[in-house]
Chain A
Amino acid sequence: MTEAAIELHDVTVRLGGRTILENLNLVIPAGKVTAVMGPSGAGKTTVLRLVTGQIRPDSGEVRVGDTQVEKLDGKALNRFRREIGVLLQNGALFTDLTCFDNVALPLREHTDLPETLIRRLVLLKLQMVGLRGAAELYPRELSGGMNRRVATARAMALDPSIMLFDEPFAGLDPISLGVSLRLIRDINHALGITSIVITHDVDEVSELADQCAIIADRQAVATGTPSELTDSDNPLVRQFMQGLPDGPVPFHYPAQDLADDLLAMEKRR
């Protein structure tokens, strides 16, 4: 059985008076690509924020390796975060820095390496994402997909053992999407790291992920390989995997009956 890299046990998170996750249990295997999927607003990004220690659970335990994340703060949390690379939804590159300086930033901040060595490392990271030639360009001079690739290189700068990708395929054209898919796959296989991909792109997930987890109704309602989830009998999983407009997740926002609404309008006139 594969060793677990990340474990969430009975995690409950309440934000702004709303329960986002309730008694969530999730195990992410080491060295694999795991896709965390689910409808919008289901709490996928909350899982990412729990793993990075950006938020703490109201109850339960978040364990990354031997580290209990919710108990970390200050310097210990910073040390822990150096082991994790995160690609945020829009890349979040610093617009006043070139691509080179963006990737060099964590190396300059956290290591005492000489500038010549930092230069070599940065160029290697940019080569890995196919953008060595864009080293001196600013993020505004690149497309959205290229920005995310540079951000991936930056997230990989300190050679993390875990990579988290938040919606890496959102808004990408088919070519950029294909490049991103291959990149995540190659990084995972070449470096043997653990990857979590937060997404709701079902087609891409079936190509990329070794394991999937679907978050809905504040819990992980299903886990398994992409093909297992596609064949699932669970109505919620089936609705999500097949992209059905109506089902356990309703198409309509809760409202009173349409006829009552229209009649009420007539009466007001």
Chain B
Amino acid sequence: MTPESPGTRLFDRPLRELGRAFLFLLTAISRMRFTRLQLAETLRQVYFAGVRSLVIIVTCGFFVGLVLTLQTYDTLTRFGAGDAVSTVLALSLFRELGPVLTALLFAGRAGTSITAEIGLMRATEQLDALDLMAIDPMERIVQPRLIAGMIAVPALVLIFNVTAIVGGVFFAVFLMGNDPVTFWSNMQASVELGRDFFGGMVKAVAFGFLAAWLAVWFGWSARPTSEGVALATTQTVIATAITVLILDFVLSAFML
């Protein structure tokens, strides 16, 4: 491909951006420092990114559980397999829906907020101020948010799964009158702790890292204008949604 060819134009910018994002990540990891101040800042970020996402996670989890049970129950009863609804619910949640939907919700709620915060810090010279005070912005701003994403997303996935199962129980047991013992025993019998539960948790950690990395990167590289910050937050959501779904396919292919 010549430098001017359409193929070059199409791939050149995204590849350069990807390269810069990787270099940024490597720099952040290479300067990783574990001090009391870092720990306190990381916990604060877990609160901002995780605890403040609870409302959206609990609400969405409950309704995802409800609608998933409704749809599968309707289909399965046509084949006389209504009792298997808890199996389908649990496996879809633990393996796929829990980690993926939580990561997408996290990107929309916490990822955008991280991007906008760092973008505005750049625009208002707060990152320069850190640098001038001989405080590494990578240590103070980037690392706590990266680690917080890896802690918050798995915790949110657990909460999402629990509330979705509560939604499923509400529909199948309380509204449809299914036997609760059958519901729970089928779920217990079908879910493998290692492959299904921990497999989902591995995905959750990977998605949390990915979502936090992209959020921090787009904020860090945002143009220091209101338009630049707005563009960066949009890019965070789009890039996280696409890459989480691609990574989900790759991880699922390895785990099955």
Chain A residues proximal to chain B, CB less than 8 Å? 52, 54, 77-79, 81-82, 84, 86, 88-90, 92-95, 105-106, 108-110, 151, 154
Contacts and interface: CB of A to CB of B under 8 A. Distances in A.
Contact of B134 (A89, A90, A110): A110
Contacts of A154: 133
Given A78-B134, A79-B134, A90-B124, A109 B129 contact: no
B255 interface: no
Given A88-B129, A89-B125, A93-B126, 9 more contacts: A78-B136, A88-B125, A88-B132, A90-B124, A92-B128, A94-B129, A95-B126, A106-B134, A106-B135
A92 B126 contact: yes
10 contacts: A78-B134, A79-B134, A86-B132, A88-B125, A88-B128, A89-B125, A90-B125, A92-B124, A105-B135, A151-B129
A92 B134 contact: no
B131 interface: yes
Contacts of B132: 52, 54, 81, 84, 86, 88
B175 interface: no
Nearest to B44: A96
B256 interface: no
Contacts of B131: 54, 81
Contact of B133 (A54, A89, A90, A105): A105
A106 B128 CA distance: 14
A2 to B, nearest CB: 26
B37 interface: yes
Contacts of A105: 133, 135
A163 to B, nearest CB: 12
A82 B134 CA distance: 6
Task: Tell me which of B125, B128, B129 has the highest count of chain A C-beta atoms within 10 A of its own C-beta.
Answer: B129
Question: Lowest 8 CB-CB distances: which A-B pairs, in order?
Answer: A92-B129, A78-B134, A92-B125, A81-B134, A86-B132, A88-B125, A106-B133, A92-B126
Interface of B: 37, 124-126, 128-129, 131-136
A239 to B, nearest CB: 30
B126 A94 contact: yes
Contacts of A52: 132
A231 B126 CA distance: 40
Contacts of B124: 90, 92, 95
Given A78-B134, A81-B133, A106-B133, A54 B128 contact: yes
A265 B131 CA distance: 51
Contacts of B133: 81, 105-106, 109, 154
A78 B129 CA distance: 13
Contacts of B134: 77-79, 81-82, 106, 109-110
Contacts of A106: 133-135
A114 B41 CA distance: 19
Contacts of A81: 131-134
A78 B139 CA distance: 14
Contact of A108 (B37, B125, B126, B136): B37
A154 B130 CA distance: 11
Contacts of A151: 129
A78 B131 CA distance: 8
Nearest to A110: B134
Contacts of A95: 124, 126
**Residue among B124, B134, B135 with most chain A CB within 10 A:** B134
A109 B37 contact: yes
A151 B131 CA distance: 14
Contacts of A93: 126, 129
A62 B37 CA distance: 34
